[in-house]
């Protein structure tokens, strides 16, 4: 099937049916043509076209009746109505009844193509949304909660499933914002320790002078203000999992105690010489390979070898751009539901901008933009404009420039595509194709 879309044309006028079919095929569409509206319903069921184009006035079953039948049997299938000069009021009624658009005979060939491009894109986006919703629903019962359908994320889920069932310590490596704690929680939830506590310790967030007390606890009178005994985070996690985030930031004095804890599985509270046995699994996370930290001496070599019983690497979002189309509407929908807002539509232009951005802040950045988009706190784009940063491809930069120039020309010409095409020095048909491709016609 053509990448431009499959169009089903219904018209009892044989000459018009043939002319429209020939033009759309030349334009790159796959075309099915029928003159009998009843046969059209059977053809739809058998071929599942992207768009139906139907005349309004036909003998036997008119276009309005056909529209009603299509909407009832195939909800979401766009129907474009063709009308004669005197049928504009009837076309308006068809739009109110659920038609996608209407075209007045004799139709302009370029305009017909642009209308169909827009309808095909809308149909495909609906299908994609349904597919992504099914993926999200299928993953809702998955303890990992790791959303995505890219090969990289499927491999990540496989690694999580493998390590979850093996009671060894694991090192997670990934850039800021990729979801290292989410992976750590998935490992915990998929393990036999799931009923016990999951305790997260951010090694960079605890001041060095408080780290030992927070992690190991303290005895009464261990320091000024220690009015009673206090259980540390490791001891609190007994039977469960401890997650050490940003392990490269752990103070050196604490590293020796952590190493001893890992080797002996006992903990000594600050100011107390009594070792207390604990049964824990330790999962650590770092933003990059720790070999450099080992070489500089900021991380003990023996501790590194002890921590890295197994290793999981989380790919950055820029390496799995296919998942952006799933994650952005997912986060936007959750935010809209949480705040009682209607779910905003994601236009083809916005989707293109989302896919063109390299997301240096990874999923955390995308989630933030999705939430602002859902609440209407961003501009219409809702995504950062693609920059000429290292790693962005030349086609992406050209597309960004082209969108900007076309939008400016259309605004200068009050939305008149013929005038804008002349201003840009390109054929009107070419401009119409670009307007549809970038989702600029509606805006």
Per-residue pLDDT tens over the stretch 192-251:
999 999 999 998 888 887 888 888 888 877 677 777 788 889 999 999 999 999 998 888
The long-range contacts involving 207-213, CB below 8 angstroms and separated by at least 24 positions, are 208/251, 208/253, 208/254, 211/250, 211/251, 211/254, 212/253, 212/254, 212/257, 212/270, 213/270
Asked whether residue 254 is assigned to any structural domain, the reply reads: yes
Provide the pLDDT for residue 140. 40
Residue 331: count of CB within 10 angstroms of its CB: 20
Pair (309, 352) in one structural domain: no
Given 315, 337, 370, which residue is the final one in a domain? 315
Domain C-terminal end among 271, 290, 315: 315
Co-location of 18 and 109 in the same domain? yes
Q: Does residue 176 share a domain with residue 307?
A: yes
**Residue 423 φ then ψ, to 5°:** -65, -40
Average pLDDT, the chain: 83
For residues 53 and 125, state if they share a domain.
yes
Give the number of domains in the chain: 3
Alpha helices in 165-243 (DSSP H): 180-189, 208-216, 233-236
Instruction: Report the SS3 class of residue 101.
Output: strand
Q: Could you tell me how far CA 120 lies from the centroid of its own chain? A: 21
CATH (domain of 291) = 3.40.50.300
**Could you tell me the CATH number of the domain that includes residue 113?**
3.40.50.2300
pLDDT score at 9:
93
**56 and 126 within one domain:** yes
109 and 53 co-located in one domain: yes
Name the residue range of residue 366's domain.
Answer: 324-437
For residue 141, what pLDDT band results from cuts at 50, 70 and 90? very low
Residue 117 lies in a domain: yes
Identify which of 207, 167, 208, 204 has the alpha carbon closest to the alpha carbon of residue 187. Answer: 167
Q: Are residues 156 and 125 in the same domain?
A: no
Q: Is residue 50 within 8 Å of residue 120, measured between CB atoms? A: yes
pLDDT, one tens digit per residue, over 98-137 is 888 888 888 888 888 888 988 888 888 777 666 655 655 5
Rounded CA-CA distance 55/292 in Å is: 70
In angstroms and rounded to an integer, the radius of gyration of the C-alpha atoms of the chain is 30
The secondary element (H helix, E strand) that includes residue 171 is strand 170-173
């Amino acid at each position: 099937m053509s990448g431009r879309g499959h169009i089903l044309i219904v018209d009892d006028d044989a000459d018009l049916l043939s002319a429209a079919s020939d033009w759309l095929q030349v334009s790159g569409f796959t075309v099915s043509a029928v003159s009998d509206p009843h046969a059209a319903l059977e053809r739809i069921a058998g071929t599942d076209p992207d768009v139906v184009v139907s005349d309004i006035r036909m003998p036997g079953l008119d276009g309005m009746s056909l529209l009603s039948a299509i909407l009832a049997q195939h909800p979401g299938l766009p129907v474009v109505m063709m009308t004669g000069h005197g049928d504009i009021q009837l076309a308006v009624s068809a739009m109110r009844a659920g038609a996608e658009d209407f075209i007045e005979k004799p139709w302009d060939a370029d305009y017909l193509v642009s209308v169909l491009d827009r309808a095909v894109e809308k149909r495909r986006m609906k299908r994609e949304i349904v597919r992504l919703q099914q993926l999200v629903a299928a993953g809702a019962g998955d303890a990992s909660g790791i959303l995505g359908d890219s090969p990289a994320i499927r491999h990540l889920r496989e690694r999580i499933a493998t390590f979850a069932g093996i009671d060894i310590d694991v090192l997670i490596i990934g850039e800021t914002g990729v979801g290292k704690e989410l992976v750590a929680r998935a490992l915990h939830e998929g393990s036999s320790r799931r009923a016990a506590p999951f305790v997260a310790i951010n090694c960079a967030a605890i001041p060095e002078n408080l780290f030992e007390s927070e992690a190991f606890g303290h005895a009464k009178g261990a320091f000024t203000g220690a009015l009673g005994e206090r259980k540390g985070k490791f001891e609190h996690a007994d039977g469960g999992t401890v997650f050490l985030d940003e392990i490269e930031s752990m103070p050196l004095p604490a590293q020796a105690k952590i190493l001893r804890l890992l080797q002996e599985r006992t903990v000594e509270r600050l100011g107390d010489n009594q070792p207390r046995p604990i049964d824990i699994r330790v999962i650590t996370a770092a933003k990059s390979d720790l070999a450099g930290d080992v070489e500089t001496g900021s991380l003990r070599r023996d501790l590194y070898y002890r921590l890295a019983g197994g290793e999981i690497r989380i790919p950055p979002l820029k390496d799995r751009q296919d998942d952006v189309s799933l994650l952005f509407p997912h986060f936007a929908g959750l935010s809209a539901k949480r705040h009682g807002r209607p779910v905003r539509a994601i236009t083809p232009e916005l989707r293109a901008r989302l896919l063109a951005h390299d997301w240096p802040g990874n999923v955390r950045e995308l989630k933030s933009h999705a939430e602002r988009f859902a609440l209407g706190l961003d501009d219409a784009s809702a995504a950062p404009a693609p920059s000429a940063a290292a790693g962005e491809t030349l086609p992406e930069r050209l597309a960004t420039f082209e969108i900007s120039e076309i939008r400016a020309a259309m605004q200068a010409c009050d939305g008149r595509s013929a005038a804008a095409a002349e201003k840009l020095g390109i054929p009107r048909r070419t401009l119409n194709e670009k307007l549809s491709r970038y989702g600029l016609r509606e805006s």
